[in-house]
Structure 1
Amino acid sequence: MKAWVAPEVPRLPGVGQVPLVHDHASGQRRVSTRGEQASLYVCGITPYDATHIGHSATYVAFDLLGRAWRDAGLIVRYVQNVTDVDDPLLERAEQNGEDWQVLAERQTELFRDDMAALRVIPPAEYVGAVEAIPLVVEAIERLRERGAAYDVDGDIYFPVAADPNFGQVSRLSPGEMRELFAERGGDPDRPGKRDPLDSLLWRHERPGEPAWESSLGRGRPGWHVECTAIALRHLGMGFDVQGGGSDLIFPHHQMCASAAQALTGSSPFAHAYVYQGMVALDGEKMSKSKGNLVFSSQLRADSVDPMAIRLAVLAHHYREDWEWTTDGLRAAEQRLERWRAAARVLTGGAHAGKVLDGVRDALAADLDAPAALAVVDAWADATLADGTAASESPTLVRDTCDALLGIKL
């Protein structure tokens, strides 16, 4: 599956720092990568609706990580999936009276457009669930061989008991896991399961649903194993960062990790589990199921500058839960206008690099975007007020904002 066109990223003088990130599984900050290559898997969309601000916040957050890695001189291997066959997609297609494949491709293309407009650097591998079915089947067959898969009325399940470390990613109690499992697409009460938390690997064909021939019988993949199979193929076991919204901690990322660990007999699946906070609207988490959404594409259609959208997101630390407001967007538009006005001031100064150093320091400290914005704010305010930032080259500031923050001035 094709991704989107990558933005041009300026080269900056010197070398940046490898960021520390907050690892949910350990509850501690840790170095985000351990070598000359950095590997990242971020769970992608289920394309049954347009990209809302919560999605945009997630992919902008991990774009910051990728930009910081590149600035540190690392080779970045970034993989993202698209869950282009799943129950929510099929249900929406039926509601709309359209072919599910047409719906999936239209929404995936809209997502690509949004990401390109927000200047998100695309993944090296952008993989749809449908094209990954052979990988999924292979993974399930290997789980079967290891005694880590069983049949319930033709469907195939993963037994969580197969992973001795089950629960270490989510850090939740069994009761908390069961409650979330029921809320987030699981089936804890299905008869025939060995454990209420066992997750679906392969769904056998139902009337009117898409299905594919395989050694497992005609059917389609379960959600979690899709990401397990794609990540293992393209990144291997023990990659650096598994990322996504915090609503993926359980069951999705826990199940992905447990299946991989049972399949390979090793751990960890990822060395750090990093999560974007939830974005709310009118006091409730923004979600497709609730319909309380602000769409990135609609904002763009309303002539909102994508850089203002990106700045509105970056005004919040990625781990923070926050609320989208028109006031927040207005403040981002004003900030963008102020930065651009300052960047037009011809100071003729030397490349002192204070803004560059400040933004690098902020991103190194768990991707502290608000602190990075404050560095640029201080430069812009001083430049516009009385030229006291005249030693800072506006060209270097523009390149810093572009390369590290993804903001084109």
Structure 2
Amino acid sequence: MTTIRLYNTRTRRKEGFAPLDPDNVRMYVCGPTVYDRAHLGNARPVVVFDVLYRLLRHVYGEGHVTYVRNFTDVDDKINARAKESGRAIGEITAETTQWFLEDMGELGALEPDYMPRATQYIPQMVAMIEDLIAKGHAYEAEGHVLFAVDSWRENYGALSGRTVDDMIAGARVEVAPYKRNPMDFVLWKPSDADQPGWDSPWGRGRPGWHIECSAMAYELLGESFDIHGGGNDLMFPHHENEIAQSCCAHPEGDFARVWMHNEMLQVEGKKMSKSLGNFFTVRDLLDQGIPGEVIRFVFLSTHYRKPMDWTAEKAIDAKARLFGFVELISMYGDLLEAMKLDPEPALIDALADDLNTHAALECVGKMNSSSDANRLARNLVFLGVYSGPELESRVNEYRQGVETLRNIVTLLQSAREKAKKNKDFSEVDRIKDILSAANVSVRMSKDDVDLRPEIDFDPAKLEALK
């Protein structure tokens, strides 16, 4: 069996991965707060942990991996969006949840086994909060319930490598008179008449952000599970707080044994920001004609623990490389046979080495001969760059384009022969202009004409030749 090694943020070293139960490898990844379109940075952890999910299913079997990614559908950002738009909260969250799934699907991401919504687990959150109060780890104050960091002080900060005193001095904490310690964080807060709320022992209210992941992870994965993932911006306070409340509620468990965090995304070397004009949603790029496979390929080109820099140049290069892959597969491949193959051992080894997608793509890039076509196709599908049907569609489009151009070769040769006789090359030039507009490469020798589809080949523009 392949040995997987993963960098564990908690221990700050790369470790051999040994699941608690090889028959049920369990992974939880923090999902989006659904109030708007997912921006490009939101997509990075989705792609990163989708690749890990694929690797785990390959090593342990598709039926032996449980992947959970939540939706936060109760949050002050959602409340604010509802207030400014005049739309119902449920309508907003339903719409934006669907947007997220559609956009991530365009990037080749498989849907997790479970996608719980916070509002579906309010009773479980209330029960966990009650348990934390009973064990002396939480307290009620002015309609709020807060986690008492001092009750977990010797362990709090282990993930992020900070002491409580350092965090108080340097962290952004909500200062409130009802807190015993500035670092205490909200488990439950009161709701007014205009805010979503649920009945609880502490009055009508709603959960804090951190408690939802602890409650849902426990319900779906148990008191101990294998991997917890997310962006490194969540390490503190979100993941630190998850550990505290989960380990205090279930001291007999380990919560998550391996913590994985992807680095952040930049655009053209700068932090993505609306004020800088470099803020993109995934849908923005898709609508600009950048296919999902190109976005995914660019993401995979950088190791997940390194900052990812999205640039227009990288997108152009990825598009060209993918076109070359499709061209090779179209000319020499057999997709039915390709899908019967196992993924390349060298590619699996690269991914097993702390998800080294950059090395995996280098492995793919070496498959550049006619005899490599089927192996290339299989590995592109394994990496999620294309699904099987998507690759089949791209290959069929290319092959149909080649067939169409065969007929046009005859047309162009005939026009050239006539032009040589009457010394009028206007028709030849007209045909060549149409071919150029359709992104067709035209090569003419003394005795031959060669037409080949190029990137962004548009067969619809060839209708002008009729």
Whether TM-score is above 0.5 comes out as yes
Question: Residue 32 of structure 1 aligns with which residue?
Answer: 17
Q: Does 1:303 align with 2:289?
A: yes
Structure 2: distance between partners of 1:286 and 1:268? 36
Matches within 5 A, 1:111-122: 111-122=100-111
Q: Which segment drifts farther, 172-181 or 91-100? A: 172-181
Matches within 5 A, 1:374-385: 374-380=362-368, 383=369
Question: Residue 73 of structure 2 aligns with which residue?
Answer: 84
Distance 1:284 1:81, change over 3 A: same
Question: Residue 397 of structure 1 aligns with which residue?
Answer: 376
Q: Which is higher, the Rg of structure 1 or of structure 2? A: 2
Structure 2: distance between partners of 1:402 and 1:315? 16
Question: Residue 166 of structure 1 aligns with which residue?
Answer: 156
Structure 2: distance between partners of 1:206 and 1:130? 17
Q: Which segment drifts farther, 281-290 or 254-263? A: 281-290
Question: Residue 331 of structure 1 aligns with which residue?
Answer: 317
Question: Residue 42 of structure 2 aligns with which residue?
Answer: 55
Q: Does the residue aligned with 2:198 lie in a helix, a strand or coil? A: coil
Structure 2: distance between partners of 1:255 and 1:155? 17
Does the CA-based 8 Å contact 2:333-2:374 persist in structure 1? no
Shift of 1:76: 0.7
Moved over 6 A (4+): 287-291
Q: Does the residue aligned with 2:70 lie in a helix, a strand or coil? A: strand
Shift of 1:208: 2.0
Q: Does 1:141 align with 2:130?
A: yes
Matches within 5 A, 1:154-193: 154-163=143-152, 164-174=154-164, 176-178=166-168, 181-182=171-172, 186-187=173-174, 189-193=175-179
Does the CA-based 8 Å contact 1:307-1:407 persist in structure 2? yes
CA deviations 1:212-251 (Å, max 9, x no partner) are 1123321000000100000011101221111011100000
Does the CA-based 8 Å contact 2:343-2:382 persist in structure 1? no
Structure with more contact order per residue of length (Cα contacts < 8 Å, sep ≥ 6): 1
2:14 corresponds to which letter in structure 1? R
Aligned residues: 380
Shift of 1:404: 3.5
Structure 1 residue runs of 5 or longer lacking an equivalent are: 1-14
Structure 2 residue runs of 5 or longer lacking an equivalent are: 392-466
Aligned counterpart in structure 2 of residue 277 of structure 1, from 259, 263, 275: 263
Does the CA-based 8 Å contact 1:355-1:376 persist in structure 2? no
Let me know the Cα RMSD of the aligned residues: 2.4
Shift of 1:54: 1.1
Structure 1: distance between partners of 2:75 and 2:274? 14
Q: Does 1:218 align with 2:204?
A: yes
Structure 2: distance between partners of 1:290 and 1:108? 27
Structure 2: distance between partners of 1:172 and 1:205? 33
CA deviations 1:21-41 (Å, max 9, x no partner) are 111110011233424121110
Identical pairs, percent: 32
Question: Residue 67 of structure 1 aligns with which residue?
Answer: 54
TM-score by length of 1: 0.87
Q: Does the residue aligned with 2:257 lie in a helix, a strand or coil? A: strand
Structure 2: distance between partners of 1:207 and 1:180? 35
Question: Residue 41 of structure 1 aligns with which residue?
Answer: 28
Does the CA-based 8 Å contact 2:364-2:379 persist in structure 1? no
1:364 corresponds to which letter in structure 2? A
Distance 1:282 1:308, change over 3 A: closer
CA deviations 1:380-400 (Å, max 9, x no partner) are 2xx2xxx5xx2x3x2233122
Structure 1: distance between partners of 2:266 and 2:203? 42
Structure 2: distance between partners of 1:288 and 1:64? 29
Does the CA-based 8 Å contact 1:80-1:126 persist in structure 2? yes
Does the CA-based 8 Å contact 1:239-1:270 persist in structure 2? yes
CA deviations 1:85-135 (Å, max 9, x no partner) are 111221233233332222221111100101222221111111111111111
Q: Which segment drifts farther, 396-405 or 313-322? A: 396-405
Question: Residue 228 of structure 2 aligns with which residue?
Answer: 242
Q: Does the residue aligned with 1:299 lie in a helix, a strand or coil? A: helix
Does the CA-based 8 Å contact 1:278-1:286 persist in structure 2? no
1:178 corresponds to which letter in structure 2? I
